[in-house]
Amino acid sequence: MQKRAAIPCLALPLLALASLPRLDGAPTGYTDTPYLPGGEWRVHDDARPRPPVVRAGVHGGAPSDALVLFDGTDLAQWRSGEGDAGWALLEGAMEVNGTGSIQTRADFGDVQLHLEFATPKVVESNSQGRGNSGVFFLGRYEVQVLDSYENVSYADGQAAALYGQYPPAVNASRPPGEWQTYDILFRAPVFDGEELVSPALATVLHNGVVVHHARELLGATAHKQVAKYSAHPAKGPIQLQDHGNPVRFRNIWLREL
């Protein structure tokens, strides 16, 4: 009979064992390690505050510390001009219906935003006429929404483009009618009076694919012009665009950063 090879016993290093949680209330970190740059905390500092616990969402759902902007039941978080948002509610989604763009009642600066959108299943046009909408931060900085599945348009105007500025790194679009996701980290620009101190930054994931990574925006979104900055408040509304196409949105939430 052939003997089986002995399976070695793998013991955790003493360092790993020493840092495991203890049930007797003993320290789980260290008090004699070097200070990290800045001098406030040591490496593995036992006194360093632990991060708060957040329950992660399931299948793109909102985590426990998120502000839900749309859960499919009402448009209470949104307005159109000075009035209520008038988009249609159907099948757990809201749909552009020609009543104008909508924006959040509250203002936001630096955020993590999640939303899902679906362009019309029935294709009736091409280029910028197919499933055109947009997500605007502070009412000024747009991530384009478009049906870019087998639909050629100008590169800085296709789905997930920072409109008029940067095309996405790749085209991750799904077919018309299918639900798609945007996960966007947006950092608002900073001004000192009228002077720009730091530009807006955007990281965008389209259907889970990184298409912009910490991209510096050139300025507020413009059409057929080079974007530029002008001073504005640190916070502003998030806007969804009515561009005449019946695009649907659902499962919208954000976390302020």
Least confident of 57-61, 97-101, 249-253: 57-61
pLDDT at 241: 97
Q: What are phi and psi of 106, to 5 degrees?
A: -95, 160
pLDDT in tens, 54-74: 999 998 899 999 999 999 999
pLDDT > 70: what percent of the chain?
Answer: 91
Q: Which two tokens stand for residue 91?
A: 């099948």
Element (H, E) at 184: strand 180-187
Predicted confidence at residue 24, as pLDDT, reads: 62
pLDDT at 92 over 60: yes
pLDDT digits (tens, 9 = 90+) for 18-31: 444 555 677 889 99
**Length of the chain measured in residues:** 257
Q: What is the pLDDT of residue 10?
A: 41
Residue 179 backbone class (left: φ over 0; alpha: ψ -120 to 50; beta: rest): beta
pLDDT at 23: 54
| Domain spans, the chain | 10-50, 67-256
Q: Helix, strand, or coil here: 113?
A: strand
Q: How far is Cα 157 from Cα 161, in angstroms, rounded to an integer? A: 6
**Rounded mean pLDDT of the chain?**
91
- 218: number of Cβ within 10 Å: 17
Q: How would DSSP label each residue in 120-137? A: -SS----GGGSS-EEEEE
Q: Is 18 helix (H, G, I), strand (E, B) or coil?
A: helix
Over residues 4-15, the mean pLDDT reads 42
Q: Tell me the per-residue pLDDT of 117-139, one tens digit each, with 9 for 90 and over.
A: 999 999 888 999 899 999 999 99
- pLDDT of 206-248, one tens digit each? 999 999 999 999 999 999 999 999 999 999 999 999 999 999 9
DSSP 8-state code for residue 9? P
Environment class of 129 (CB within 10 Å of its CB; exposed 0-12, middle 13-18, buried 19+): middle
Please check the confidence at residue 250 and state whether its pLDDT lies above 70: yes
Using CA atoms of 189, 190, 195, 200 in order, give the dihedral in degrees to the nearest 10. Answer: -20
d(CA 44, CA 35): 9
What CATH code is assigned to 67-256? 2.60.120.560
What's the pLDDT band for 49 if we cut at 50, 70, 90?
very high
